[in-house]
């Protein structure tokens, strides 16, 4: 393997960018801030948190926590697909809930989308989420 010589900050920035790529799809909502829907670094894929926005209208979906969680998983499925991945490659899930009483309902939705062996996961109660969402989820996947 050839050695890499980094001589300047510009070289360093180019090397960092050459080892990662931004994943973007119109099948999931556009980022509502200065971030990408996902970034691939080597064989790792890191998704940004998805909230239950309809990708066509950029509006929060109507409905209960189940409807919101279903929209989030649909958005994440689209981002994974844009990277050539599926839920089978997910190794970590981060779930953020404004009401931990919704834990069981979100578990039921997750089980419809993610099969055993399940990835590692954390569920964190938060005071608020963007746009008044009740749930936000991010993923880490290992790509083949």
Q: How many residues does the chain have?
A: 144
Across the chain, mean pLDDT equals 91
Architecture of domain 9-142: 2-Layer Sandwich (3.30)
The C-alpha angle 6, 12, 15, rounded to 5 degrees, equals: 95
Q: Would strands 38-41 and 90-97 be described as parallel, antiparallel, or unpaired?
A: unpaired
The 10s digit of each residue's pLDDT in 82-139 is 999 999 999 999 999 999 999 999 999 999 999 999 999 999 999 999 999 999 999 9
Q: Which of 102, 76, 69, 63 is nearest to 23 (CA)?
A: 76
Is the pLDDT reported for residue 144 higher than 90?
no
User: What is the per-residue pLDDT for 81?
Assistant: 98
Q: Closest Cα to residue 55, out of 85, 35, 79?
A: 79
pLDDT at 39 over 90: yes
pTM of the model: 0.88
Beta strands in 49-134 (DSSP E): 90-97, 120-125
């Amino acid at each position: 393997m050839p050695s890499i010589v980094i001589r300047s900050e510009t070289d360093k920035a180019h090397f960092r960018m050459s080892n990662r790529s931004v994943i973007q799809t119109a099948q999931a909502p556009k980022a509502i801030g200065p971030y990408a829907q996902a970034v691939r670094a080597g064989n790792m894929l890191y998704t940004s948190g998805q909230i239950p926005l309809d990708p066509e209208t950029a509006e929060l979906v109507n409905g209960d926590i189940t409807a919101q969680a279903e929209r989030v998983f649909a958005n994440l499925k689209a981002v994974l697909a844009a990277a050539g991945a599926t839920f089978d490659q997910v190794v970590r899930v981060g779930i953020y809930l404004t009401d931990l009483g919704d834990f069981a309902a979100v578990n039921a939705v997750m089980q419809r989308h993610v099969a055993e062996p399940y990835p590692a996961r954390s569920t964190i109660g938060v005071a608020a989420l963007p746009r008044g969402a009740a749930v936000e989820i991010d993923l880490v996947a290992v790509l083949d």
